[in-house]
Amino acid sequence: MEESQRQLFQKNRLRLVRELQVEPLWDLMLDRELFTRDMIEDIQRAGTRRDQARQLVTDLQTRGKRALPTFISCLEATGQWDLAALLGESNTTLTQQPDPINLKPVEMIRSGESRSTDMKLPIKPLVPGSYTSKKDVPQGAVGSTQTQGGRNTVMGMGAALQQLAERDHSALDCCVVVILSHGCQASHIQFPGAIYGTDGASISVERIVNIFSGSRCPSLGGKPKLFFIQACGGDQRDHGFQVSSNIPEDKSPGSDPETDATPFQNNFDQPDAVASLPTPSDILVSYSTFPGFVSWRDPKSGSWYIETLDRVLEEWADREDLLHILLMVSNAVSARGTYKQIPGCFNFLRKRFFFKTK
């Protein structure tokens, strides 16, 4: 570890020892090879939580130069955003070129007679004349969002979502988060993909979704949590394959596309099973493209996925449930362009969801 990084730990040592929650960090630090299992067990034998935190801060300073950014990512993954920001703000080695981002956490209107609501998704394209890759994005691009005080944008995104999750949602029907940005592949266990911030760093979709899990956001327990992700899922370009079909190709003339970055009856075996729900229940993540592939947009009309989603919602939201709507979106988007794109979703909802009711 560089001397400047050691000084950073020493400067913030007292606060780290006072606030650091070490228990959630062990498995992450092991998975990311920050420490070996024997090293972690030595730290755990230090005693109380404060003693373990003190020993952890000391041992971190003996690791390599990637120890600091790796530790910051572990803090982010466990929701310790203030400490992550504390270390990240002073770490000049983490600064990178900005990238456009449009992060829109959206809360639904107050409860009515049903778990349904009228909602218009934010669908403006991220940047007019969009950029094809992260390296092409100029500093201060239109549509970018910087956090106050020069804070690492990805940390700001995480903190904003954490604040949203910590609100009292008792009077609300559901929560919707819509993100439009550049994206990439990322290692994952549950949800694929990651979203770039204006600083060039990324936050995984999995981390974003887990902020709103039932255990971390109890006021949204049993309520739908919907995520709409407009971003590339990787660098692969899909040329498609030949099929016999009468479906016309939906393509705007003279434009070349660009990449973008009913309740059921439960039969429980256990009499008390209905008293709790699975932690990741009532979650739906809708992706603009298949994992690993680019996401396209028209220079004039905007992103294929967002533009189509807006159009289909406007026409069918008062009659069809969300999953049927997303199937229509996938079908329409898949018929466009020379290069192909297919949206999809990870669905863990327990009931049919309607945006509007008659």
Active site residues: 182, 232
Q: Which residue has the tokens 């394209």?
A: 125
| Helices (H), ranges, the chain | 3-11, 13-19, 25-31, 37-44, 49-60, 67-77, 81-89, 153-166, 205-210, 304-316, 322-334
Q: How many helices (H) and strands (E) does the chain have?
A: 11, 11
Cα distance between residue 114 and residue 262, in whole Å: 11
Q: List the structure tokens of 112.
A: 């009515």
Which residues, 6 or more positions from 273, have their beta carbon under 8 angstroms from its beta carbon?
none
Is residue 130 a contact partner of residue 72, using CB atoms and an 8 Å limit? no
Secondary structure percentages of the chain, helix, strand, coil, to 5: 35, 15, 50
Cα distance between residue 75 and residue 87, in whole Å: 10
Is residue 237 a contact partner of residue 339, using CB atoms and an 8 Å limit? yes
Q: What is the DSSP letter of 148?
A: G
Q: What is the DSSP letter of 175?
A: E
Q: Which amino acid, residue 165? A: A
Q: Which amino acid, residue 87? A: L
Strands 194-196 and 202-204: antiparallel
Is residue 230 a contact partner of residue 260, using CB atoms and an 8 Å limit? yes
Is residue 98 a contact partner of residue 137, using CB atoms and an 8 Å limit? yes
